[in-house]
């Protein structure tokens, strides 16, 4: 296998790292503490093309591969995960879902706005009772002939307060089970769409997470994605790609914690020498470096499989599972390496630790990923599929 990045990929990574360090890091602590939406920062990301990286140039996007997107996500996530989750949802779930499965009319109408950052999108699957279980949707879309009538509640919606376009998963025929589910493109300013209060979260605090209510919303027939009954497959395939983005976010969190810890360990002295010279600290850093490298190979490989149009479902679940657990484990270690300084906001690692937890929860919890992986194992699939 060729582990060398292309010149374009290296340039993307450098641009993302430069933007994260110069534009995101200043003010990130205040935005997190006060739950301030990163309006200017998102505008800057849009200008760099980070909100429509994989969208075809035909629709105003960058036409980049998944690995380039992963590299950018990784660097942004080392610094500001509220920005990276906004970027992830817009790229992995909304833009990719529309371009891959939408009609030409839908692509022409929505992708240029989304890719340019003129509009931000949201993916509305989770519900108060069903969580991310797409088979248990209580939100309904009743076929009224020339339109659907949408009713229901979605919660934990990233970009819920700022998105102009929602992809809503809803049940149209309960008797058909998962074959009676559809996905709809719903504009946020339509009558009957209302937004709940912003959630006060443990981490990713400056991203806007809301409950969204739909009351007798008229959705034109042309805003259904795919054939009737395609919604469940759409959700599963889109989430599978989305997990690569969240795996990249987790990888970035772990990498950011490692870089901060390494620098601190080289500067901080105890008992007459830099603490990196003490095995208690150097061994922690060695474990961090090793686990991050292993996670990186899994995440990059999942992205490569997707770019090669090979089956990446199991690989994305493995990458998301492992990278999120690495992020959680080693942000805790980063706080420990920093000692008392790690417990205060100034040194950033406590925020990364809080942000790490969500990577084990959204786009399907770690338990959900183990279900996906175990089903592949039950079928006798090898743990590496080339």
Query: Which CATH number fits the domain that encloses residue 20?
Result: 1.10.540.10
Say yes or no: 152 and 168 in one domain: yes
CB-based contact 295:322 (threshold 8 Å):
yes
CB-based contact 32:201 (threshold 8 Å):
no
Say yes or no: 267 and 363 in one domain: yes
Say yes or no: 333 and 284 in one domain: yes
Give the Cα separation of 305 and 241 in Å (integer): 11
Instruction: Check residue 55 and give its pLDDT.
Output: 98
Instruction: Check residue 383 and give its pLDDT.
Output: 61
Let me know if residue 384 belongs to a domain: no
Say yes or no: 225 and 303 in one domain: no
CA-closest candidate to residue 165, choices 238, 101, 206, 107: 107
Let me know if residue 385 belongs to a domain: no
Say yes or no: 248 and 366 in one domain: yes
Give the Cα separation of 171 and 150 in Å (integer): 9
| CATH number of residue 161's parent domain | 2.40.110.10
Estimate to the nearest angstrom the gap between the alpha carbon of 252 and the chain centroid. 12
Instruction: Check residue 381 and give its pLDDT.
Output: 76
Let me know if residue 31 belongs to a domain: yes
Say yes or no: 370 and 244 in one domain: yes
Say yes or no: 189 and 254 in one domain: no
- Domain-ending residue, one of 63, 92, 120: 120
For the whole model, what pTM was predicted?
Answer: 0.96
Cα angle 29-30-33, degrees, rounded to a multiple of 5: 85
- Domain range for 148 is 122-231
Let me know if residue 386 belongs to a domain: no
Overall number of domains in the chain: 3
| CATH number of residue 265's parent domain | 1.20.140.10
Say yes or no: 114 and 164 in one domain: no
Instruction: Check residue 385 and give its pLDDT.
Output: 54
Give the Cα separation of 351 and 335 in Å (integer): 10
Q: What is the pLDDT along the chain (386 residues), one digit of tens a residue?
A: 688 999 999 999 999 999 999 999 999 999 999 999 999 999 999 999 999 999 999 999 999 999 999 999 999 999 999 999 999 999 999 999 999 999 999 999 999 999 999 999 999 999 988 766 777 789 999 999 999 999 999 999 999 999 999 999 999 999 999 999 999 999 999 999 999 999 999 999 999 999 999 999 999 999 999 999 999 999 999 999 999 999 999 999 999 999 999 999 999 999 999 999 999 999 999 999 999 999 999 999 999 999 999 999 999 999 999 999 999 999 999 999 999 999 999 999 999 999 999 999 998 899 999 999 999 999 887 665 55
Strand partners, 219: 148
CB atoms within 10 A of CB 319: 30
Instruction: Check residue 30 and give its pLDDT.
Output: 98
- Domain-ending residue, one of 86, 120, 154: 120
Instruction: Check residue 132 and give its pLDDT.
Output: 62
Strands 209-220 and 147-158: antiparallel
CB-based contact 202:230 (threshold 8 Å):
no
Give the Cα separation of 182 and 210 in Å (integer): 22
Say yes or no: 49 and 96 in one domain: yes
- Domain-ending residue, one of 100, 120, 140: 120
Say yes or no: 184 and 200 in one domain: yes
Residues marked active site are found at 363
């Amino acid at each position: 296998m060729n582990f060398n990045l292309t010149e374009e990929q290296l340039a993307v990574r450098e641009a993302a790292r430069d933007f994260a360090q110069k534009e995101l890091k200043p003010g990130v602590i205040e935005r997190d503490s006060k739950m301030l939406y990163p309006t200017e920062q998102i505008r800057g990301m849009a200008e760099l093309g980070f909100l429509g990286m994989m969208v075809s140039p035909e629709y105003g996007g960058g036409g980049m591969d998944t690995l380039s997107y992963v590299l950018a996500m990784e660097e942004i996530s080392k610094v500001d995960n509220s920005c990276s989750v906004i970027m992830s949802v817009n790229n992995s779930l909304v833009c990719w879902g529309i371009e891959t499965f939408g009609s030409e009319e839908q692509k022409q109408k929505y992708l240029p706005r989304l890719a340019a950052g003129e509009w931000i999108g949201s993916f509305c699957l989770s519900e108060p009772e069903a969580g991310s279980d797409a088979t248990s949707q209580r939100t309904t879309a009743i076929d009224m002939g020339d339109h659907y009538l949408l009713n229901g509640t979605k919660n934990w919606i990233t970009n819920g307060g700022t998105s102009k376009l929602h992809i809503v998963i809803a049940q149209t025929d309960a008797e058909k089970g998962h074959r009676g589910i559809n996905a709809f493109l719903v504009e946020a300013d339509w009558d009957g769409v209302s937004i709940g209060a912003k959630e006060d979260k443990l981490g990713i605090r400056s991203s806007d997470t809301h409950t969204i209510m739909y009351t007798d919303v008229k959705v034109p027939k042309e805003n259904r994605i795919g054939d009737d009954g395609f919604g469940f497959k759409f959700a599963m395939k889109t989430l599978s790609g989305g997990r690569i983005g969240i795996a990249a976010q987790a990888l970035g969190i772990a990498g950011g914690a490692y870089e901060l810890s390494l620098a601190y360990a080289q500067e901080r002295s105890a008992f007459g020498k830099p603490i990196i010279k003490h095995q208690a600290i150097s061994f922690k850093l060695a474990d961090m470096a090793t686990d991050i490298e292993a996670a990186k190979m899994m995440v990059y490989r999942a992205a490569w499989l997707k770019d090669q149009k090979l089956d990446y479902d199991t690989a994305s679940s493995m990458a998301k599972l492992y990278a999120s657990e690495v992020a959680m484990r080693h942000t805790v270690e980063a706080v420990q390496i920093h000692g008392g300084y790690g417990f205060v906001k100034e040194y950033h690692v406590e925020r990364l630790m809080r942000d790490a937890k969500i990577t084990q929860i959204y786009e399907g919890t770690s338990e959900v990923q183990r279900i996906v992986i175990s089903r592949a194992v039950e079928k006798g699939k090898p743990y590496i599929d080339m």
